Amino acid sequence: MRTAFHEQLEALKATLGDMCGIAGVAMERATQALLQADLLLAEQVITDHDRLAAMSRKAEESAFVLLALQAPVAGDLRTVVGSIKTVADAERMGGLALHVAKIVRRRHPGHVLPEEVNGYFAEMGAVAVDLGKSAREVVLSGDPDRAAQIRHDDDAMDELHSHLFTVLMDREWKHGVASAVDVTLLGRFYERFADHAVEIGNRVVFQVTGEQVAEG
């Protein structure tokens, strides 16, 4: 028999999954706004973030109520405590998409990126969406294979990020320092987005299997 506790826990998981998906979509849209200098889309990402922040507060309150009224123990307690940290990760992922959108708005009507690095960001954006989806799946299913997929995507993100830095550090870079500063910060935002997804995946696997994932 499913208890009220487990029903509420499933509802909380569903919210966490939604938050991960929403963060992925936010990064997808922010990337599109970045590549096309699309102010309206950037503004939408900025406005939408309020919704994610509100979901975050609500999810945290649900976790709090579960602890207060049900006093779970053992594995259930670990799941609820883990969910509080996952809420923070998912909100931060959305916050990083927000940062990307804000740079787009600041430079509008100019393009933030020199043509030369557009391809890197298009790919990093695609990886970010996958990460959002995988984080969602892993939160809902607890599937360790899906968590491994997150680490795989994170490796892809790190590689893109590292290539981007090679381009940036090259003596041939002719787009000036201001542009290099923007590209540096943007690259960092995508890299951190992936890190938070990895945290979520590893945490869920730990909750499900009791095994810590070794840091790569």
Residue ranges binding a copy of itself (CB under 8 A): 63-64, 67-68, 71, 73-74, 77-78, 81, 84-85, 88, 165, 168-169, 173, 177-178, 180-181, 184-185, 188
Q: Which is nearer to a copy of itself, 38 or 189 (CB)?
A: 189
Question: Closest approach of Cβ 195 to a copy of itself, in Å?
Answer: 11
Question: Closest approach of Cβ 173 to a copy of itself, in Å?
Answer: 5
Among 168, 166, 138, which Cα is nearest to 152's? Answer: 138
Q: Which is nearer to a copy of itself, 1 or 172 (CB)?
A: 172
Question: Closest approach of Cβ 130 to a copy of itself, in Å?
Answer: 25
In the numeric block, the tokens 């959108």 are attached to 101
Among 198, 130, 189, 200, which Cα is nearest to 161's? Answer: 189
Contacts (Cβ under 8 Å, ≥6 apart) of 210: none
Tokens of 27: 């990064």
Q: Which is nearer to a copy of itself, 36 or 184 (CB)?
A: 184
Q: Which is nearer to a copy of itself, 114 or 142 (CB)?
A: 114
Tokens of 192: 């951190």
Q: Which is nearer to a copy of itself, 99 or 133 (CB)?
A: 99
Question: Closest approach of Cβ 170 to a copy of itself, in Å?
Answer: 9
Would you tell me how many other CB atoms lie within 10 Å of the CB of residue 20?
29
Instruction: Specify whether the CB–CB gap between 98 and 56 falls below 8 A.
Output: no
Among 137, 100, 99, 138, which Cα is nearest to 122's? Answer: 100
Among 48, 30, 24, which Cα is nearest to 113's? Answer: 30
Question: Closest approach of Cβ 89 to a copy of itself, in Å?
Answer: 10
